[in-house]
Amino acid sequence: MSTEPAPISFARGAPSLDIIDVDGLRRAAERAFSKDPAGTFAYGTAVGYKPLRAWIAERHGVPEDHVIVTNGSMQADAFLFETLVQPGDGVAVERPSYDRTLLSLRQREAKLHPVELESDGINVTALAELLAGGTSISLAHIIPNFQNPAGYTLSGDKRRALVALAREYGFTIFEDDPYVELRFTGSTEPTLLSLATSGEVVYASSFSKTVCPGIRVGYLVGDPELIGKITTLATNTYISPSMVSQSIVNEFVRGGSFDASIETVKTALSQRARALADGLRTHLPEVQFVEPDGGYFMWVQLPEGVDGDALADAAANRGVAVVKGSDFLTDGSRNALRLAFSAVTVPEIEEGVTRLADAYREIT
């Protein structure tokens, strides 16, 4: 009788249940339902639950009409792309970048221009050369903190240079920033949004990583004219997002649970990132990676000639799920993996890395 090894997932870019503040969510729901049943249970409007919108606006130091709160930030992205990206438009993307965003942009028939992602963020010099060479883009998609899939963070100097480029060439920066609160070492750089002077940046984030993903609350911050167009699109699509979800999030973030919840998440993520890095150094010294300062992900580059897709398959046979690096690249390159450390405990990580190393020995 064979015994299957317990599955271990480095594939899921999601928090494990043990770092979700279930009790805080229960108390937030009780308060939301008691304090504002009319706002929670009636139809709202497409701008979102207004007290939460006000909280977000205050946090970003903008007027409320710069903010729309949506059913998760992917939905916000979809509205944004429908508004700003027409078929044939040029869009600069990081290389590698989040596979779902690449898919959405391709489905809009955007012309993607991948620009190398370095360990301090997108190669701004390469982007500047692309633009100087006459390539026209309407949008640049940037995940500035603890990038998905690489875990890299954009430096302050590059942030300022990017905003200057957007101003010079008249494109919009889409600052896609769901992981910003999850920094466990170092200091936070200013948002691109805060560096913008005349609507060069539209900012997206969500509560998926700080409250929980199943509640599906995300948002956009940007120029009020753009937000107004997106609000019309949202009204015509779903009248209003879930007021119940947003009212619960509003009580969660205002009720004192938020900072404690983020601390819990960051502590766990920090331990997990460290365990993963230590495990790789011990068992797989052949691979290269940058230990992230926050977030969920680590990008593992394999030696020349080692096939990441084959490694992912070999790992799967040992009960370890990883995502092939090729999913995040548009050019078919195959010598990387994305390892998510968000949904695995430290013992699972240690066991998972030894199995991954076994798989590596098998295919090389």
Residues contributing to the site for a second copy (CB under 8 A): 14, 17, 20, 22, 25-26, 29-30, 33-34, 37-44, 71-72, 74-75, 78, 100, 103-104, 107, 208, 212-216, 236-245, 247-248
Give 66's contacts (C-beta < 8 A, 6+ positions apart): 57, 60, 221, 222, 223, 224, 227
Q: Which residue's CB is nearer to a second copy, number 243 or number 311?
A: 243
C-alpha to C-alpha distance for 97 and 14, rounded to whole angstroms: 17
Q: Which residue's CB is nearer to a second copy, number 107 or number 288?
A: 107
Q: Which residue's CB is nearer to a second copy, number 74 or number 127?
A: 74
Minimum Å distance from CB 34 to a second copy?
8
Q: Say if CB 340 and CB 296 are below 8 A apart.
A: yes
Minimum Å distance from CB 71 to a second copy?
5
Give 132's contacts (C-beta < 8 A, 6+ positions apart): none
The vertex-246 CA angle with 244 and 250, nearest 5°, equals: 115
Minimum Å distance from CB 11 to a second copy?
12
| Interior/surface letters 185-196, b for 16+ CB within 10 angstroms, e for the rest | eeeebebbbebb
C-alpha to C-alpha distance for 73 and 142, rounded to whole angstroms: 14
- Judged by DSSP in three states, 120 sits in coil
Task: Reduce the secondary structure of 16-27 to three states and give it as a string.
Answer: CHHHCCHHHHHH
Minimum Å distance from CB 308 to a second copy?
24
Minimum Å distance from CB 70 to a second copy?
8
Minimum Å distance from CB 134 to a second copy?
32
- Judged by DSSP in three states, 330 sits in coil
Q: Which residue's CB is nearer to a second copy, number 53 or number 334?
A: 53
Indicate the length of the chain as a whole number: 364
C-alpha to C-alpha distance for 124 and 118, rounded to whole angstroms: 10
Q: Say if CB 7 and CB 319 are below 8 A apart.
A: yes
Q: Which residue's CB is nearer to a second copy, number 212 or number 359?
A: 212
Q: Which residue's CB is nearer to a second copy, number 23 or number 331?
A: 23
Q: Which residue's CB is nearer to a second copy, number 171 or number 174?
A: 174
Minimum Å distance from CB 214 to a second copy?
3
Q: Which residue's CB is nearer to a second copy, number 110 or number 311?
A: 110
- Judged by DSSP in three states, 132 sits in helix
Q: Say if CB 131 and CB 165 are below 8 A apart.
A: yes
Minimum Å distance from CB 328 to a second copy?
16
